[in-house]
Amino acid sequence: MHGRILIINPNSSRSCTDGIAGAVAPFSAPGLPRIDVTQLVDGPPAIVTWRDWFSVAEPLCREVEREQADAYVIGCVSDPGLEAVRGVTDKPVLGMFRCAVLAALGRAERFGIIGFTQKSLPRQRRALQSLGVESQMAAWIPLDLPMEVLTDPVAPQDRIAAAARQLAEQGAEVIILGCAGMAGHVGVAAEASGLPVIEPCQAAAAAALLAVLGTRIPMMAA
């Protein structure tokens, strides 16, 4: 056994969970920690409002207490319950949004975000403020589509492409997909904008792998 990373989707959308699993599948390889993806079956259909955001904190804590892993990822791009979950385990707990922002800033100085709905903005803005990087956001454009439309392989493509082009026009140098439900649409945003696109599920998986593997590198002898 090489360890385990558990990604927990706090909503109850099966298509969103499947999209997360598909996005992180390329990170599975012999010798690496296993990446499992699960969801809160009693969670809201999507994390839309602050009420949704706060409601999943305790269920996420219970899931982490129940499921052993070497690192945990909150599988929503508004990082609900992140601080609470960190309080119930000594293992790394990562938020997809924060991982995506840090990955974007590794590529460029100015990022744009394609948001899930307009109601997502206050939560993502709070995270940007906590990281001290809100001023580096060139623009934020919501899609305002239901989760089951967003996860469809075709239905949201025109909206995503239009948002990506608009972000490029407004000065973004890299684009962050602002919802795990967009995991299958990286290519659409990249082609439309001509910019690098950060997919948060993959950004968090990469960060979780680093967190787990980094603790296992033997110290060099002095």
Domain that includes residue 31, residue range: 4-95+203-214
Instruction: Examine residue 139 and state whether it is found in any structural domain, yes or no.
Output: yes
Got the DSSP string for the chain?
Answer: ---EEEEEESS--HHHHHHHHHHHGGG--TTSPEEEEEE-TTS-SS--SHHHHHHTHHHHHHHHHHS--SEEEE-STT-TTHHHHHTS-SS-EEEHHHHHHHHHHTT-S-EEEEES-GGGHHHHHHHHHHHT-GGGEEEEEE----HHHHTSSSTTHHHHHHHHHHHHHTT-SEEEEESGGGGGGHHHHHHHH-S-EE-HHHHHHHHHHHHHHHTTSPPPP-
The span from the CA of 119 to the CA of 122, in Å, is 7
Dihedral (CA of 48, 35, 66, 93) sign: negative
Judgement on whether residues 60 and 128 belong to the same structural domain of the protein: no
Number of domains present in the structure of the chain: 2
Q: Is residue 56 part of a domain?
A: yes
Domain presence at residue 219: no
Phi-psi region of 177 (alpha: psi -120 to 50; beta: other; left: phi over 0): beta
The pTM score is: 0.93
CATH code for the domain of 172: 3.40.50.12500
Whether residue 220 lies inside any domain: the answer is no
**Domain with 13 in it: what CATH number?**
3.40.50.1860
106 and 87 share a domain?
A: no
Residue 130 and residue 172 share a domain? yes
Domain presence at residue 222 = no
Q: Does 101 map to a domain? A: yes
Per-residue pLDDT of the chain (222 residues; tens, 9 = 90+): 489 999 999 999 999 999 999 999 999 999 899 999 999 999 999 999 999 999 999 999 999 999 999 999 999 999 999 999 999 999 999 999 999 999 999 999 999 999 999 999 999 999 999 999 999 999 999 999 999 999 999 999 999 999 999 999 999 999 999 999 999 999 999 999 999 999 999 999 999 999 999 866 554 444
